[in-house]
């Protein structure tokens, strides 16, 4: 009986004292989201030579990203606008 109580006590101590998983900061999460959107731009626009088609596809993607970001808890309106502006000026490598 005493052994069971000792094991239960050690179990509670382990649960209380075990290291907690560290969550990411808002800035880290925003940076990861920005990098993922840059990667999506690269994947979807790589190799497109026609400038008008490139602009059209990039605009569609930016509208989609903006819509997603407005629903994201990590970004307020100004941060969404700033991120979309950065993505709009991002140049995709055309593979030349």
pLDDT in tens, 57-94: 999 999 999 999 999 888 899 999 999 999 999 988 65
| pLDDT tens per residue across span 46-57 | 988 899 999 999
The answer to whether 40 and 92 have CB atoms below 8 angstroms apart is no
Is pLDDT larger for residue 8 or for residue 13? 8
- pTM (2 decimals)? 0.69
Domains of the chain, residue spans: 22-89
Q: Which stretch of 1-5, 18-22, 32-36, 38-42 has the lowest confidence by average pLDDT?
A: 18-22
For residues 25-31, give the mean pLDDT: 88
Tell me which long-range contacts 60-67 makes (C-beta under 8 A, separation of at least 24). 62/87, 62/88, 65/37, 65/40
Residue 20 has pLDDT above 80, yes or no: no
């Amino acid at each position: 009986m005493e052994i069971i109580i000792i094991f239960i006590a050690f179990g509670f101590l382990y649960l209380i004292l075990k290291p907690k998983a560290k969550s990411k900061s808002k800035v880290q999460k925003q940076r990861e989201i920005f990098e993922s959107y840059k990667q999506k731009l690269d994947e979807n626009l790589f190799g497109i030579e026609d400038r008008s088609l490139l602009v059209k596809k990039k605009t569609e993607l930016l509208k989609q990203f903006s819509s997603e970001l407005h629903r994201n808890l990590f970004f307020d309106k100004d941060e969404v606008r700033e991120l979309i502006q950065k993505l709009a000026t991002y140049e995709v490598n055309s593979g030349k």
